Structure formats: structure tokens, C-alpha cells
Amino acid sequence: MTPINLSSIRKNLALRVMLAVLPALVILFYTGVEQRRQSIENARRDLLLLTHAMAEIQQDNTRATRQTHSTLSLLPEIQGLFPGPLVLR
């Protein structure tokens, strides 16, 4: 294995520039990975909140619909349409 010839100014300068830039590239890479991880975590949290909110709205709609059906079933006009007892499920 031959040793690196640092006698050339061009090679020496290129090596020093690479060594100077390498820590910055590592920091940029790490920051990008960390930001990606944080973005994924934020998206998961937001999705969970949205899902719970939509489930609550759906439950409220279901309760309101059942209440409307119960109220309508008490009206004499509706009761006269069906010969037997009205069973709500």
C-alpha cells in the first residue's frame, strides 16, 4: 500500500477542504434524519387527534338520529302507519 503523496498542493488543499466540510455534512445528514422522524411523529399525533374527533362527531350524529327516530315514533301519525308495536334498535 502506497502512502498518500501530500507533496502536491492541489491534493493537500483538496484533503483539507474535505476534512473541513465533512463535519458539516454529517450534521446536515443527522439534522435531516431527526427532522424526518419528528415530522412522522407529528403526523401520527395529528392523525390520532383527527380520528378521535371524527369518531366523536359520528357518535353525536348517531345519537341525534336515534333521538329523532324515537321522537318520530311517538307521533300518532307515524304510529297509525304500523299495525304492531314499533321496535327501535
CA distance 32 to 30: 5
For residue 78, name the pLDDT band (cuts at 50, 70, 90): confident
Residue 23 lies in a domain: yes
Residue 4 lies in a domain: no
In the chain, the percentage of residues whose pLDDT exceeds 90 is 65
What is the total count of domains within the chain? 1
Residue 77 lies in a domain: no
Residue 70 lies in a domain: no
Q: Provide the pLDDT for residue 76.
A: 86
The sign of the dihedral angle between the CA atoms of 39, 45, 51, 54 is negative
For residue 79, name the pLDDT band (cuts at 50, 70, 90): confident
The parent domain of residue 52 ranges over 9-64
Q: Global pTM?
A: 0.58
CA distance 77 to 33: 67
Q: Provide the pLDDT for residue 24.
A: 95
